[in-house]
Structure 1
Amino acid sequence: MHLLYGLLVLLSLSDGFSPNCPGRCSCDSMQAVQCYRLLEVPSGIPSTTKRLYISHSRIPHLQLSNFTQLVALEDFILLASGTESVENDTFKTLSTLKTLEFWKNKLRRVPSALPANLEVLKLNDNSIYVLHRSDFEGLKKLKILELKNNLISSLSPNMFSSLVSLQSLMLDGNNMETIAGPLTLPHLKHMSMENNKLHLIPGSFFTSLHSLQFLSFSGNFLTKIPVNLPKSLLSLKMERNQLKVVRFQDMKYLENLSHLYLSENFLSSIEGAQLLANLTTLELSQNQLRMFPLKLPARLQKLDCSNNMIQKVTAQDFQDLQDLKHLFLDNNVVSLFEAGALQRCSQLSNLALEQNLLLSIPLKLPGTLARLDLKGNAIQDITEGELKDLKQLQVLNLRNNKISALDLKVLEGLPRLRHLYLDGNPWNCTCSLLRAREVLKAKGTDVRGGQCAAPAERQGESWMSSKKIMRQCEHYLHLIEKSKENKKKPKPEDLSSIRISMDDDYYDYELD
């Protein structure tokens, strides 16, 4: 008996087992209780519990009596438990409660009479369709409010007036068509209203948001950038709207703005962005640009112009972008890439040119490049001159081009190459490719692809791994070596036994 009791004590210390812990729950020494697949809030939860997590249960209704004994509770999280309603004043007496989260339930309104010490309230993925000012009265310490993926259709200016400490407000994925201002939240830093149905943001909406730094209206029906944005703004997200023009003249007072996201709109040109002097990230993917944006900010570090209709790239486009590190021009129709167009970009490390109309690799690319993506062009040859300065290149993507051979000097000039993608090219698998294989193996380069298109007898084989090609070429190379050494007809011998180590350093004779 004593031995059994000792084992139970040991288990309680090591596995979180507690004789006072309710069924289908686990209790640990940090006063945390986790419960799964319940039909009600269990009555035997220790009164010292600070964190209560209930998940994937069937608890349609919460009531005051469920929590009267939990006098130390600080965090309550209820996830995917089918909860539809909460009795009035259920949480009112929980003076220590700081975090209340109801995720993926069926609430139709905000729980009433929430405790004054609450700092985090997350009611995402419910069925709340209307907000009342009384829902948030007394919550002067609330810092985070999330109401994402509900059914809220409007927002009035005095809705959150009592939330004097609020720093983050998330209202993504609702049915909001109208919002009114001013929104009086003096300490608000983050606000997101993504994926709603907004057509217009009133000019008065931001007049009292003096601390706002991160703002997102992505996924709405806005035709212009809101006016009177806070000067404190650092990041503005306007993707997936209906913008046709951006008037940077009206935004030049945003001297702190560093990130601007305008992808998936209807922009046909971008001019005047240099007025946002501190902009470091500009995303313009999936618009209707036919030419490269004019006069970009000199401090720009990331520029995404992918999925547009840009036809050419010239040195004039990049003459002032010396801080640029990441450039995305994939999925355009670039056929002209001026030699040295990017040479002023002395910090460029990532260049994406996939799915364009290039016939060759652009000349005089910056030596700082670490990744170069050229997938899906019409490149036929790779010459030493095109890549000779790319001593820092680590990733080279050449998939789906028209390349049939690799120049050894090109590979030898890329000392840091770690990943090479060759799929979808019509490789002519003569034995000369084996020297390229050895150079790549010596570097430790991870090579993907390399299937033979010719000659016919090697079609479908991989010149990087086919043992058949290796055997055939070893035989051939051995004969060449013997011819050089003896300069006379070799003695008859069993050619099937000839093997040459492909790892030998003296592998330096010429191949056809």
Structure 2
Amino acid sequence: MRLAPQPSAQPLRLLVLLLLTVGGITSPVLTPGCPDRCVCDDQLVVQCAGQHLTTFPVNLPLSTRQLIISNNRIVELPPLALNYLSDLVYLDCSNNSLTEISESTFGNLRKLAYLDLSFNTLVRIEDRTFGPLASLVMLRMTDNPALSEIHQDAFVDNAALQVLDVSRNNLTVVNITSLIALPALRSVGLSGNPWSCECENEDLCLWVHLEDFKFQDYEKYSFLLD
């Protein structure tokens, strides 16, 4: 079988960044102040990566558009602090110690387009976790070794979602009903999970076979099609 070229994530990253400056979004004046061990600039970017943080940074400028807290040891995303950042478009939480995301964590982030939760210790994704994220375009949730369950309705409200990557977790089954219904979905990463070959994955097998152009590393799913 000849596979169609895989869609690159790079153009979508650029799309997310463009949302910071174009599309009729006006740039508010940056709130004075910046969290300790972070760098804030006049482009509304707050950079806190690799600062050995164990808690979510406080005193963030309320007009922040990009927040990068990757490569720390943060164990919790506090909804009260995070939801004050209503203009947030880009959030990178990768490589931390997050164990759970509550249903209220992203309650006010309606402009968020890029979210990275990779390389954490997530265990389960509930049905309303991403519900408020109506503008979400790219979601990366790879390399969470204990992540074994994603609620079947976890993505039902994310109509703008184009790229979803849940590779290298501990998923054995996935209900694809809500994924099939996503009108903009163009790329899905599933590799590196211990998928079950039992009957509960029949729909997944069929979807992979029919929509192979959407899947990263399509050949890795051949065992599902036997």
> What's the TM-score bracket when you normalise by the shorter of the two chains?
0.7 to 0.9
In the alignment, is residue 372 of structure 1 matched against residue 139 of structure 2? yes
**338 and 383 in structure 1: CA distance in 2 versus 1, 3 angstrom threshold:** closer
Q: Could you say which residue in structure 2 is the equivalent of 1:462?
A: 223
Deviation at 1:337, TM superposition (A): 1.9
Equivalences for residues 397-436 of structure 1 within 5 A? 397-436=165-204
Query: 1:342 is aligned with what amino acid?
Result: F
Query: 1:446 is aligned with what amino acid?
Result: F
Query: 2:134 is aligned with what amino acid?
Result: G
**426 and 348 in structure 1: CA distance in 2 versus 1, 3 angstrom threshold:** same
In the alignment, is residue 343 of structure 1 matched against residue 107 of structure 2? yes
Asked if the contact 2:100–2:124 (Cα under 8 Å) also holds between the matched residues in 1, the reply is no
Query: 2:214 is aligned with what amino acid?
Result: T
TM-score by length of 1: 0.34
Q: 1:357 aligns with which of 121, 139, 147?
A: 121
Instruction: For residue 282 of structure 1, give the secondary structure of its aligned residue in structure 2.
Output: strand
Q: 1:315 aligns with which of 48, 55, 79?
A: 79
Q: Could you say which residue in structure 2 is the equivalent of 1:270?
A: 35
Structure with higher strand content:
1
Q: 1:283 aligns with which of 20, 31, 47?
A: 47
Identify unmatched segments of 5+ residues in structure 1. 1-254, 261-268, 453-460, 470-512
Deviation at 1:429, TM superposition (A): 1.5
Counterpart CA distance in 1 for 2:114 and 2:219 is: 24
Q: Could you say which residue in structure 1 is the equivalent of 2:215?
A: 446
**432 and 271 in structure 1: CA distance in 2 versus 1, 3 angstrom threshold:** same
Equivalences for residues 24-423 of structure 1 within 5 A? 270=35, 280-361=44-125, 363-365=128-130, 366-377=133-144, 378-423=146-191
Q: Could you say which residue in structure 1 is the equivalent of 2:8?
A: none
Instruction: For residue 63 of structure 2, give the secondary structure of its aligned residue in structure 1.
Output: coil
- 1:482-501 Cα offsets, whole Å, 9 max, x none, are xxxxxxxxxxxxxxxxxxxx
Instruction: For residue 428 of structure 1, give the secondary structure of its aligned residue in structure 2.
Output: coil
Q: Runs in 1 of length 4+ with deviation above 4 angstroms?
A: 255-258, 276-279, 449-452
Asked if the contact 1:277–1:298 (Cα under 8 Å) also holds between the matched residues in 2, the reply is no
Instruction: For residue 351 of structure 1, give the secondary structure of its aligned residue in structure 2.
Output: strand
Query: 2:108 is aligned with what amino acid?
Result: R
Instruction: For residue 124 of structure 2, give the secondary structure of its aligned residue in structure 1.
Output: coil
Asked if the contact 1:420–1:448 (Cα under 8 Å) also holds between the matched residues in 2, the reply is no
TM-score by length of 2: 0.73
Counterpart CA distance in 2 for 1:425 and 1:277 is: 39
Query: 2:159 is aligned with what amino acid?
Result: K
Counterpart CA distance in 1 for 2:176 and 2:45 is: 38
Deviation at 1:345, TM superposition (A): 1.2
- 1:272-330 Cα offsets, whole Å, 9 max, x none, are 98xx7966101111111111111211211111000001000121121221111100000
Q: How many residues align?
A: 192
Instruction: For residue 436 of structure 1, give the secondary structure of its aligned residue in structure 2.
Output: helix
Counterpart CA distance in 2 for 1:272 and 1:403 is: 36
Cα RMSD of the aligned pairs, angstroms, is 3.1
Asked if the contact 2:115–2:140 (Cα under 8 Å) also holds between the matched residues in 1, the reply is yes
Query: 1:406 is aligned with what amino acid?
Result: V
- 1:73-116 Cα offsets, whole Å, 9 max, x none, are xxxxxxxxxxxxxxxxxxxxxxxxxxxxxxxxxxxxxxxxxxxx
- 1:331-372 Cα offsets, whole Å, 9 max, x none, are 000113221211211110100010001001254321211111
Deviation at 1:435, TM superposition (A): 2.3
Instruction: For residue 178 of structure 2, give the secondary structure of its aligned residue in structure 1.
Output: helix
Counterpart CA distance in 2 for 1:357 and 1:381 is: 13
Counterpart CA distance in 2 for 1:299 and 1:402 is: 37
Q: Could you say which residue in structure 1 is the equivalent of 2:25?
A: none
Query: 1:388 is aligned with what amino acid?
Result: V
Asked if the contact 1:427–1:451 (Cα under 8 Å) also holds between the matched residues in 2, the reply is no
**315 and 257 in structure 1: CA distance in 2 versus 1, 3 angstrom threshold:** closer
Identify unmatched segments of 5+ residues in structure 2. 1-27
Asked if the contact 1:272–1:296 (Cα under 8 Å) also holds between the matched residues in 2, the reply is no
Asked if the contact 1:421–1:449 (Cα under 8 Å) also holds between the matched residues in 2, the reply is no
Instruction: For residue 462 of structure 1, give the secondary structure of its aligned residue in structure 2.
Output: helix
Deviation at 1:447, TM superposition (A): 3.9
- Structure having the higher Rg: 1
**297 and 376 in structure 1: CA distance in 2 versus 1, 3 angstrom threshold:** same
Instruction: For residue 161 of structure 2, give the secondary structure of its aligned residue in structure 1.
Output: coil
* Identical positions, percent: 24
